[in-house]
């Protein structure tokens, strides 16, 4: 199968090819049952491959999480310190300087819950945007379903959130919030939020893989999203004002980030009543998770064979 | 697989797995493969803000005007590899050897042509999955999982991997973060992890250049072993001796084109004559 070229060495006495695959090579390959290398697997196969790599996904997430603070003197203490410092900054600005707390009982638990839950969504999306573009070395060296990367980053953020939740529980107890059965609602709320986050991450991972510039844009979009999601103020108070157009208040209330934040407040803080939640809150929360989770997965899979292209 | 059967396979490329002579079984078929890299932002005045704006304004124009440069890394390469073969890939730097391997592994898309494979070829490259901040021990697990091994398989082979790497010969280094290893030690552990898995079609890119002499010999031994388990082995190397020791067929790539395809001795003779031309600087051949 040797061929002539434009800049050959002085002499190229071509050795006879070891193999004589005369005629159409493609037909020859198909006849022997070979498959195209690097082709996109079918959706069920893809799900199966992903499931087979579940141990890699969790191990990669945990490894990233531990590697994060391994050079710091305080080490893993930062897992809890970082979210606490974050909450302190927001309290200083919105609670003390701007006085947003007016009319919100238990403002500090309210704020800290909002900050932690929002941070989970925000960091998942940010990490998802860079999941493929920032790990091209891995994508180009090893073969695995690429969805493992954005999902793994979301699991890392979930683990991070569990550290934050431990800090949150201490804060709640310090402020005299009673432990009630409604705390159990944390589990379904977090599960739904995780599926939603993973869906958005996969959508952003595909977009970030083809247009890395998006990673520069995301902080601005996310900050805007944060301010309309009621992280440091009560949506319910604003949405019930009469001067607000109906469309705007519906949009504010069905915003998935706001839904997950308020569900968590409802679960944890006794002074946050169900009347403050928008109507049909659980179906909306599940709907967002389902639509974005499944939709994001399919959208990501559609471009599976293009990730890592030069 | 029995030992003598493996021997049989090695000496007679193209035999059936059972060792009975018959039609050779192809494992990799490359049909007129072209691979093109696209590099963003290489147009005139690259990097400046005005140039970037200019590019956006002229979006509709050709890729070249938009500052996208094409690198034609592999040009119309065709070959068929059979079960039981060990194939060396040679050529001067930048001739497209590694690119071709990545395309065979399905990690780079081809521009034109097709690559067909039997099963999933794997690149012997686990480096990207490892993390310097983690201990060697955790990296063994992480790397194994990244290659698709199960936790039980890794547990089973863990001691073998550590022993093979020789990391613990000078003390308990496997429990230290990998960033504290010397470059040689790191390379040895990486090779040991990567070589711990059995592959159908194995692609090896310059893996033998790492480590000291005794480790190199152990690596070559391990590659021969892997070849007995694998259907087909591809080896990229600039070390003609390790090509001679491990391969029975060689593909010579130059400027992305397949120059020669034939028995190791024939091709290497031509290649050495080419690299030893007086016009060239120091010869590469070992």
- Residue A27: predicted pLDDT: 82
Check if the beta carbon of residue B181 is closer than 8 Å to that of residue B135.
Answer: no
Euclidean distance between CA atoms A303 and B9, whole angstroms: 39
Contacts with A145 from chain B: Cβ below 8 Å: none
**How many residues does this entry show for chain B?**
286
- Residue A153: predicted pLDDT: 96
Q: For residue A90, what pLDDT band results from cuts at 50, 70 and 90?
A: confident
Which of A18, A140, A304 would best serve as a mutation to test chain B binding (most B beta carbons within 10 A)?
A: A18
- Residue A118: predicted pLDDT: 93
Q: For residue B11, what pLDDT band results from cuts at 50, 70 and 90?
A: very low
Q: For residue B280, what pLDDT band results from cuts at 50, 70 and 90?
A: very low
A118 in any annotated domain:
yes
- Residue A143: predicted pLDDT: 82
A28 in any annotated domain:
no
| Residue B114 at interface with chain A, using a CB cutoff of 8 Å | yes
CA-closest candidate to residue B37, choices B93, B81, B98, B123 = B98
Q: What are phi and psi of B88, to 5 degrees?
A: -90, 145
Check if the beta carbon of residue B104 is closer than 8 Å to that of residue B16.
Answer: no
Which of B148, B190, B253 would best serve as a mutation to test chain A binding (most A beta carbons within 10 A)?
A: B148
A225-267 tens-digit pLDDT: 998 888 888 887 777 666 778 888 888 888 999 999 999 999 9
A9 with B277: Cβ contact below 8 A: yes
| pLDDT for B85 beyond 90 | no
Q: Which residues make beta-bridge pairs with B71?
A: B37
Q: Above 0.85 for ipTM, yes or no?
A: no
Q: Which of A3, A30, A141 sits opposite B125 (nearest CB)?
A: A141
Euclidean distance between CA atoms B62 and B65, whole angstroms: 5
Residue with the bigger pLDDT between A18 and B107: it is: B107
For chain B, how are helix, strand and coil distributed in percent, rounded to 5? 40, 25, 35
Contacts with B101 from chain A: Cβ below 8 Å: none
A16 in any annotated domain:
no
CA-closest candidate to residue A308, choices A72, A80, A174, A137 = A137
B191-224 tens-digit pLDDT: 888 888 877 788 887 755 666 777 777 877 777 7
| pLDDT for B62 beyond 70 | no
Q: Structural domain of residue A76, as residue ranges?
A: 41-306
- B67 torsion bin: left (phi>0), alpha (psi -120 to 50), beta (else): left
Burial B211-232 (b: 16+ CB within 10 A, else e): beeebbebbbebbeebbbebbb
| Residue A270 at interface with chain B, using a CB cutoff of 8 Å | no
Alpha-helical regions (H) of B46-150: 49-57, 97-104, 136-146
CA closest to B148 among chain A residues:
A53
B133 with A39: Cβ contact below 8 A: no
CA-closest candidate to residue A202, choices A305, A307, A298, A290 = A298
What is the average pLDDT score of chain A?
Answer: 85
The CATH class, in words, for B1-36+82-124+199-286 is: alpha beta
> How many structural domains compose chain A?
1
- Residue B60: predicted pLDDT: 52
Q: Where in chain B is the domain with CATH 3.40.50.300?
A: 1-36+82-124+199-286
CA-closest candidate to residue B265, choices B256, B273, B253, B277 = B273
B261 with A144: Cβ contact below 8 A: no
A114 in any annotated domain:
yes
- Residue B6: predicted pLDDT: 39
Give the residue carrying structure tokens 């064979």: A305
Average pLDDT over residues B99-118: 85
Contacts with B142 from chain A: Cβ below 8 Å: 56, 59-60, 63
Q: Tell me the shortest Cα–Cα distance from B3 to chain A, in angstroms.
A: 26
Contacts with B14 from chain A: Cβ below 8 Å: 19
A131 in any annotated domain:
yes
| Residue A59 at interface with chain B, using a CB cutoff of 8 Å | yes
- Residue A50: predicted pLDDT: 94
| Residue B286 at interface with chain A, using a CB cutoff of 8 Å | no
A104-163 tens-digit pLDDT: 788 888 888 999 999 999 999 999 999 998 888 888 788 889 999 999 999 999 999 998
A34 with B108: Cβ contact below 8 A: no
């Amino acid at each position: 199968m040797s061929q002539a070229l434009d800049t050959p060495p002085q002499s190229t006495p071509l050795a006879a090819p070891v193999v004589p695959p005369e005629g159409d090579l493609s037909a020859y390959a198909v006849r022997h049952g070979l498959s195209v290398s690097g082709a996109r697997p079918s959706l069920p196969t893809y799900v199966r491959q992903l499931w087979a790599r579940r141990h890699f996904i969790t191990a990669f997430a945990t490894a990233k999480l531990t590697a994060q603070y391994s050079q710091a003197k305080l080490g893993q203490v930062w897992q809890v310190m970082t979210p606490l410092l974050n909450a302190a900054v927001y309290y200083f600005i919105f609670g003390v300087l701007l006085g947003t707390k007016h009319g919100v009982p238990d403002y500090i638990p309210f704020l800290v819950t909002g900050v932690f839950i929002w941070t989970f969504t925000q960091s998942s999306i940010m990490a998802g945007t860079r999941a493929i573009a920032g790990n091209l070395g891995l994508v180009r060296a090893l073969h695995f379903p690429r969805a493992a990367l954005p999902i793994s980053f979301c699991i890392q953020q979930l683990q991070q959130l569990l550290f934050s939740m431990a800090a949150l529980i201490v804060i709640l107890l310090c402020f005299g919030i009673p432990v009630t059965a409604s705390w159990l609602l944390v589990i379904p709320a977090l599960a739904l939020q995780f599926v939603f986050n993973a869906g958005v991450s996969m959508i952003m991972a595909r977009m970030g893989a083809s247009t890395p510039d998006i990673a520069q844009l995301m902080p601005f979009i996310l900050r805007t999203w944060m301010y309309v999601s009621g992280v440091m103020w009560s949506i319910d108070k604003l949405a019930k004002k009469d001067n607000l157009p109906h469309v705007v208040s519906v949009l504010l209330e069905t915003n998935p980030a706001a839904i997950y934040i308020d569900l968590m407040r409802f679960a944890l803080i006794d002074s946050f009543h169900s009347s403050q939640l928008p109507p049909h809150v659980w179906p909306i929360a599940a709907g967002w998770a389902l639509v974005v989770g499944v939709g994001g997965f399919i959208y990501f899979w559609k471009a599976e064979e293009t990730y890592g292209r030069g | 697989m029995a030992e003598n059967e493996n021997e049989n396979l090695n000496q007679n490329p193209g035999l059936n797995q059972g060792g009975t002579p018959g039609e050779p079984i192809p494992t990799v078929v490359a049909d007129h493969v072209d691979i093109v890299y696209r590099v963003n932002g290489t147009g005139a005045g690259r990097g400046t803000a005005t140039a970037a704006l200019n590019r956006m304004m002229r979006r509709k124009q050709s890729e070249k005007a938009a500052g996208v440069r094409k690198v034609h890394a592999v040009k119309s390469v065709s070959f068929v590899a059979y079960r039981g073969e060990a194939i060396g890939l040679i050529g001067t730097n930048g001739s497209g050897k590694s690119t071709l391997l990545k395309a065979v592994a399905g990690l780079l898309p081809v521009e034109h042509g097709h690559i067909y494979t039997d099963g999933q070829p794997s690149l012997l490259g686990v480096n990207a999955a490892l993390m310097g901040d983690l201990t060697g021990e955790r990296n063994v697990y992480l790397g194994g999982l990244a290659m698709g091994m199960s936790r039980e398989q890794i547990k089973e082979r863990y001691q073998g991997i550590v022993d093979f790497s020789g990391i613990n010969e000078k003390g308990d280094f496997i429990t230290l973060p990998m960033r504290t290893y010397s470059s040689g030690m790191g390379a040895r552990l990486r090779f040991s992890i990567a070589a711990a898995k059995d592959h159908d079609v194995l692609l090896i890119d310059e893996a033998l250049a790492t480590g000291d002499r005794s480790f190199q010999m152990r690596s070559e031994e391990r590659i021969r072993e892997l070849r007995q388990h694998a259907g087909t082995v591809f080896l990229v190397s600039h070390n003609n001796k390790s090509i001679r020791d491990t391969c029975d067929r060689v593909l010579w790539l130059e400027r992305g084109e397949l120059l020669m395809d034939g028995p190791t001795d024939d091709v290497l003779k031509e290649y050495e004559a080419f690299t030893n031309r007086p016009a060239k600087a120091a010869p590469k051949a070992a």
